[in-house]
Structure 1
Amino acid sequence: MTLPFALAVITALVIAALLLPLLRRRFDATRRLDHDLAIYKDQLAEVERDRLAGRLSGDEAKAASTEIERRILAAAGADDAATMPVPPRRRFLPTAIAILVPVAALGIYFQTGRPELPAQPFAERPKPPAPSVADAGPMEMVRRLRERVEKDPKDVEARLALGRAQLAVGRVADAVESFRAAQQAAPDRADVLSALGEALTFESDGVVTQPARALFAAALERDPRSAGARFYLGLADAQGGDPASALRRWLDLEADSPDGAPWLETLAREIERVSRQAGIDPKSIRPDRKERKPRDAGMPQPSADDVKRLEQLPPEQREQQIRAMVDRLAERLKEAPDDVEGWRRLARARAVLGEHGKAAEAYAAADKLKPDDPEILAAWAEVRLRLDEVGTKPLSPETIAVLKRLEKVRPDNGLALFFLAQADEAAGDRPGAIARLRRLRDLMPAEAPARAAIEKRLQALEGK
Structure 2
Amino acid sequence: MTFWIVSGAFALISALWIGWTLLRPRVDSEGPDALDLPVYRDQLKAVEKDLARGVVAEDEAERLRTEIKRRILEADKAGGAETRVAPRALSFGVAALGGVAVIGGAFLIYEAIGAPGYGDQPLSKRLADAEQARRDRPSQAEYEANIPPSPTPEIDPQYAELIEKLREAVVERPEELEGWVLLARNEAQLGNLPAAHTAQAKVIELKGDGATSQDYTSYAAMLIQAAGGVVSQEADRALNGALELDPKNPIARYYAGLMHLQTGRPDQAFAFWEPLLREGPPSAPWIPIIRARLESVAYMAGMLDYQLPPEAAMGANPHGAGGPSIEEMEAAQDMSEEDRQDMIQGMVDQLGRRMAEEGGPPSDWAKLIRAHGVLGNTERAGLIWSEAQRTFSSEADLAPIRQAAAFAGVEEVGPNGAGPSDEDIKAAAEMSPEDRETMIRSMVEQLGDRLATEGGPPRDWARMISSLGVLGEQDWAAAIWGEAQERFTDPEHLAIVREAAVAIGLEPAQ
Instruction: Specify if TM > 0.5.
Output: no
Q: TM-score, normalised by structure 1?
A: 0.35
TM-score between the two structures when normalised by the length of structure 2: 0.32
Q: Which has the higher contact order (CA 8 A, sep 6+)?
A: 2
